[in-house]
Structure 1
Amino acid sequence: MSQPGTPISRRRFGALAAGTAAATTAAVLPGGSATAMPAGAATAPAGTAPGTADPNAPLEQLRAMWIASVVNIDWPSGTGLPAQQQRDQLVAWFDLAVRLNLNAVMLQVRPTADAFWPSQYEPWSQYLTGTQGTDPGYDPLEFAVAEAHKRNLQLHAWFNPYRVSMQTDPTKLVPWHPARQHPEWVFAYGPKLYYNPGIPEVRRFVEDAILDATRYDIDGVHFDDYFYPYPVAGETLPDADTYATYGAGFDRIEDWRRHNIDLLVSEMQHRIHAAKPWLAFGVSPFGIWRNKASDPNGSDTGGTESYDANFADTRGWVKKGWLDYINPQVYWNIGLAVADYAKLTPWWAEQVRGTDTKLYIGEATYKVNTSGAWLDPTELTRHLTLDQQYPEVAGNVYFSAKDVRTDALGATSRVVADHYQHPALTPALPHLDPRVPNRPELARARRTADGVRLDWVGTGSPAPASYAIFRFDGERAADIVDARNLVATVRADGRVQSWTDPTPGTEPRTYQVVAVSRTGVRSAPGNARTV
C-alpha cells in the first residue's frame, strides 16, 4: 500500500513484501539488551520528578503492535514448528513489547476463516501446523492470553471477518470447512476466496465464529480493513444474484453492500457487549473514509476510499456509537500530497470528538527505509509529536511486529526514546463500565537486596484488573496524573500482592498504588509509604 490510490491493504503488502520472519526466542533492538524486565512490569528510571505533566509522557496512551499470522508474517515464523518453539516465539514478541514500554498487542487469531483456538465453528489454522484442521498440540489463544496478562499487556484478538482463503480453490480446504459444506456462501474474487457478506446466514455464522473466542479472557475484539475485498482491476464482485435475492429496498447495489457491513458491525457490537459488557470492540480500517471531493465531510485527500472500496462507512460507525475504538491505518508520511498524515490525523480527531470512541492511529513501521520521506529516521517519531496537538489521539499501533523488531534506521528506538521512556496505562473506557475500584492498602514498603519491595491489599468490587505503581522523589507523594511518576504497571493476581522496584536509587522514595478496573477506570490513590 505504498500509494493511497493503490487498493492493496497493509495486510496484503506485508504478505507480499515481507516474506517469513526468522524464528527467534530473543527479540532485541539493535544496541538493546536481551534481558527481559520482570514479568508483568514496565519500569521507569529512578528519580522521575513531580511537577507539571509532560506531554511526551501521557498517563493514558495505547501503545501496541500488530502480530500477524496470515502467511506467517510475524508468528509463528513458519508452519509446522514444534509447539514449544511456537510458544517461545510468542513470548519473545511479548517480551519485546514490554521492553519498548508498549502495553497491548493485536494478535491475529482468525486470518482466513480458521482459528488459533479449538473453535466450535472453523478448523485449526494452516499457519500453525502447515495443514488446515490439524491440532497444534496446545491452545495458542489460551497461552497467548495468559502470557500477555503475566506481563500486563492487553491482548486484542484480531479477526478477519470474510476472507476464507488466500487462494480460490475450495477443494483445498478441509472437507468439513463451512465453505465446502455451504458452497453457496462463498465467491472467488481476485486471487482469494471470500464469504459473501450479503447472505444473512453468512453474517450470522461469521459473528458466531468470532464470538466463540470471547470465552477467553481477551481484552478486545479487533477487526482489520477487509470487509468487502479491495477492488481488483478488470473484475466485478460476483454478488449480483445475492443482491437480487436480498437487496429489496436498495436502489443501488453499493448502498446495499454498505448496509450489509453496517449490520455486521452493529450486531457485533451488540452481541459482544451482551456477552461481556467490559470487552472493547474496535476496527482498524483503511485510513481514508472519503475524500472531500466525494463528500464535504471527507478528508483533504485524494486516495482510495474505504466507503466505496470496502463498503465500510467507518465515519458512520463512530457517529452511531458502534465502536469502542477506531484504529485507522494512516500509513502515509507527513506532507504526502494525496494522503498527508498531518491532514488525516486531525480529520480523524474531529470525527471522534464528543463520542465514546477512542482514536488510535495505525503506523506504517513497515515503510521505514523504503523510499522518500521514509528514508528519514525521524518520520515515525514526528508522527507522535504531531499527535500531541490533538487530545483525541489516544495512542498508536505499529504494523507489524517484525518491523518493530528490525528497527530499520533506528526509527523505533527513536519513538521509544522520544515518547515511551515511561510506562503508560491503556486508555479508560468508562462507558463500558464506569465503576471505580476501591483504593488499595499499601501495607508495607521496605528495602531488600533486590530493590524496594511493596506489599498491598486490594478489596471490593469491581475487582481490579491491574495496578499502577507511582514513585516520587523524597518523603511525600505528589502528582499521580504525571506519567513521569508512574514506575510500573502490574497485573492483578489476587487480593494480596507484592512487587519489587529494581531501580529505586539510594535517596528516599515515596510510593503509592492505584487500582485499575477492566475498563481502565482508576481508583483514588492508596496510602503512601516512604523508604
Structure 2
Amino acid sequence: MGRIGRRGFVLTAAGVLAALATGGDAAARPVGSSAGAARRRHKPLPEFRGMWLATVANRDWPSLPGLTADEQRCELLDHLDTAVARKLNAVVLQVRPTADALWPSPHEPWSQYLTGVQGQHPGWDPLGTAVREAHLRDLELHAWFNPYRVATHTDPFRLVENHPARVHPEWVLPYGGKLYYNPGIPEVRAFVQDAMTDAVSRYDIDAVHFDDYFYPYPVAGQVFDDDETYARYGAGFPDKAAWRRDNIDRLIREMADRIKKAKKNVAFGISPFGVWRNVATDPLGSDTTAGVQTYDNLHADTRKWIKQGWIDYVVPQLYWHIGFGPADYAKLLPWWSDVVRGTGVRLYAGEALYKAGDPAQPAPWQDPAELSRHLTLARTYAEVSGHCFFSAKEVMADPVGAMARVVADHYPTRVLPPA
C-alpha cells in the first residue's frame, strides 16, 4: 500500500524510487518485463541521508546575526537545495540552541542568532518555513533541541529580562564558561519538555532530535555544583553519578512519551558521543580507550535507552577515522550495530565531514576518500540504516571534495528515508 505524502499525493516506495532512478518513466514498460524486473532487483533501498544544520554561534546558518528576513530565508533555502543536490533526504535543523527558539515560542525568547538581539522577532517563522520548504523538496525535517544549555557565557544579566533563567535563577548553574539548567530539578525537566513539545504540537516536523549535550562535558579544575540538588532529591541512590543518570533517563523516557502523545508519527532520535563506555571500564563497552565516556562523564546511558526502546533512532557521533587507536571507526561501528540488533531502533552513523581536509587533523582526514570508506564499511553491517553529516556548511562548501566523493561512490540516486 502507498502512504499519503505530505504534499497530498499518494506515495509508494516502489513508485517513488523507480521514478527517482529512471527520471520519472517508471510506467514506461510493463511490470512483468525483464527491464522492470531488473529495476525491482536493483532498486535502492531506503536509507537515512542527513545533514546537521547548526545555528548555535551562527555555525552554519544564518551566516551572520542581523541579516534581513529575506536574506535569512534565502540562505536557508540554499542549504535545503544543497541537500537535494547532494542526494540527501533529511535535514536536522537546530531550533533550540541555547534555551531560545527559532519559532514564536510561548516559553522562550527568539534566538539571538537570528537578529543579534535575544527576544527580537526576526520578521518571519524560520521553523515553519523550514518544515514547509523541506517537505516541498522531499526532505524530512528533524527538529534539533538542546535540552539544558542556557548560554555560551556565564552572565545571566546578558539574557533578556523575561528569560526563564532570569525568572528562576535557582534553576541555573555556571560551568566551563557557560550557563546550564540544572537537570536534577524536576521543575526544570518539566519546563524544558514543555518548551520542546510546543514545537512538536505546532509544526509538522518528522522527528525530535537531541545531540550529545546532557550533563556538560568535563572541564578540568571545575565542578558542576549540584550538591544541594543532590541532597534534596538524591535519596535512595548509591551515589551522585547514579542519581544524575536517572535524571537524564527520566528526561528521555518522559520526552518519548510526550512526543508520542502529541503526534504518534513523530520519531525521537539521539546523537550521542560515539563512546558509551570503554571495555576496560565495562565488559559491555567498546574496544576503545577514549577519554570521554557518555555513561560516566555525561551521565547519559545511551545503551539503556536503545535496549528499553525509548528512542526510535540513534546517530552516534563516530567522528574518528578508520584505524584511529583510541576510538577506531572500524571498531565502533560493529559495537553500535550489535547494540541495536533486535531492538527495532534504527542506527545511523554520524560522520565528521568537518574534519575532511582540515590541516589540524591527522593524515587520513587529508584523503578525500576517507568518508567514502566509512560508507563502504557500513554496507557490511545490516543494522546501519544510513548516515548523517556534520555539518551543512561543509556539505555546501566541500573544500576537498569529500562529500562529492561520497555522493559519487554511494548516492547514485535519491532514495526514501527509512519509514
- Give the TM-score of the pair, scaled to structure 1: 0.71
Residue matched to 1:282:
269
Q: Report the number of matched residues.
A: 387
Residue matched to 1:60:
46
CA–CA distance in structure 2, aligned partners of residues 54 and 69 of structure 1: 41
Q: Report deviation, 1:58.
A: 3.7
Please say if residues 47 and 418 of structure 2, whose CA atoms lie closer than 8 Å, have aligned partners that are also in contact: yes
Residue matched to 1:311:
299
The 3-state SS of whatever aligns with 1:175 is coil
Which of the residues 311, 319, 338 maps onto 1:331?
Answer: 319
Residue matched to 2:352:
364
Give the counterpart letter for 1:126 in structure 2: Q
Q: Report deviation, 1:51.
A: 2.8
**Structure 1 residues 209-236: Cα deviation after superposition (integer angstroms, max 9, x where no partner):** 0001012000000001000000000011
Q: Report deviation, 1:53.
A: 7.2
Give the counterpart letter for 2:53 in structure 1: I
Return closer, same or farther for 1:221/1:275 CA change in 2, 3 Å cut-off. Answer: same
Residue matched to 2:368:
377
CA–CA distance in structure 2, aligned partners of residues 109 and 386 of structure 1: 32
CA–CA distance in structure 2, aligned partners of residues 190 and 87 of structure 1: 34
Return closer, same or farther for 1:83/1:110 CA change in 2, 3 Å cut-off. Answer: same
Root-mean-square deviation (CA), in Å? 1.6
Residue matched to 2:342:
354
| Counterpart mapping for 1:14-413 below 5 A | 43-44=20-21, 50-51=37-38, 58-214=44-200, 215-303=202-290, 304-370=292-358, 371=361, 372-413=363-404
CA–CA distance in structure 1, aligned partners of residues 39 and 375 of structure 2: 20
CA–CA distance in structure 2, aligned partners of residues 261 and 101 of structure 1: 35
Residue matched to 1:15:
none
CA–CA distance in structure 2, aligned partners of residues 409 and 116 of structure 1: 32
CA–CA distance in structure 1, aligned partners of residues 20 and 52 of structure 2: 22
Give the counterpart letter for 1:228 in structure 2: Y
Give the counterpart letter for 2:225 in structure 1: P
The 3-state SS of whatever aligns with 1:176 is coil
CA–CA distance in structure 2, aligned partners of residues 248 and 323 of structure 1: 28
Please say if residues 20 and 415 of structure 2, whose CA atoms lie closer than 8 Å, have aligned partners that are also in contact: no
Give the counterpart letter for 1:325 in structure 2: Y
Give unpaired runs (5+ residues) of structure 1. 1-40, 429-531
Q: Report deviation, 1:161.
A: 0.5
Return closer, same or farther for 1:202/1:279 CA change in 2, 3 Å cut-off. Answer: same
Residue matched to 2:416:
425
Give the counterpart letter for 1:232 in structure 2: V
Give the counterpart letter for 2:321 in structure 1: N
Give the counterpart letter for 2:385 in structure 1: A
Larger Rg: 1
CA–CA distance in structure 1, aligned partners of residues 394 and 206 of structure 2: 24
Return closer, same or farther for 1:54/1:99 CA change in 2, 3 Å cut-off. Answer: farther
The 3-state SS of whatever aligns with 2:166 is helix
**Structure 1 residues 347-387: Cα deviation after superposition (integer angstroms, max 9, x where no partner):** 00000000111001100000001232101111000000000
Please say if residues 159 and 223 of structure 1, whose CA atoms lie closer than 8 Å, have aligned partners that are also in contact: yes
Please say if residues 42 and 101 of structure 1, whose CA atoms lie closer than 8 Å, have aligned partners that are also in contact: no
Please say if residues 165 and 193 of structure 1, whose CA atoms lie closer than 8 Å, have aligned partners that are also in contact: yes
Residue matched to 2:4:
none
Give the counterpart letter for 1:152 in structure 2: D
CA–CA distance in structure 2, aligned partners of residues 403 and 99 of structure 1: 14
Give the counterpart letter for 1:283 in structure 2: I
CA–CA distance in structure 1, aligned partners of residues 103 and 41 of structure 2: 42
CA–CA distance in structure 1, aligned partners of residues 367 and 373 of structure 2: 10
**Structure 1 residues 465-497: Cα deviation after superposition (integer angstroms, max 9, x where no partner):** xxxxxxxxxxxxxxxxxxxxxxxxxxxxxxxxx
The 3-state SS of whatever aligns with 2:188 is helix
Please say if residues 42 and 99 of structure 1, whose CA atoms lie closer than 8 Å, have aligned partners that are also in contact: no
The 3-state SS of whatever aligns with 1:89 is helix
Return closer, same or farther for 1:306/1:53 CA change in 2, 3 Å cut-off. Answer: farther
Please say if residues 322 and 374 of structure 2, whose CA atoms lie closer than 8 Å, have aligned partners that are also in contact: yes
CA–CA distance in structure 2, aligned partners of residues 182 and 163 of structure 1: 15
Higher strand proportion: 1
Residue matched to 1:511:
none
The 3-state SS of whatever aligns with 1:194 is strand
**Structure 1 residues 26-49: Cα deviation after superposition (integer angstroms, max 9, x where no partner):** xxxxxxxxxxxxxxx994455996
**Structure 1 residues 501-530: Cα deviation after superposition (integer angstroms, max 9, x where no partner):** xxxxxxxxxxxxxxxxxxxxxxxxxxxxxx
Higher helix proportion: 2
Residue matched to 1:30:
none
| Counterpart mapping for 1:409-488 below 5 A | 409-428=400-419
CA–CA distance in structure 2, aligned partners of residues 342 and 328 of structure 1: 13
Residue matched to 1:524:
none
Return closer, same or farther for 1:54/1:396 CA change in 2, 3 Å cut-off. Answer: farther
Return closer, same or farther for 1:266/1:44 CA change in 2, 3 Å cut-off. Answer: same
Q: Report deviation, 1:407.
A: 1.3
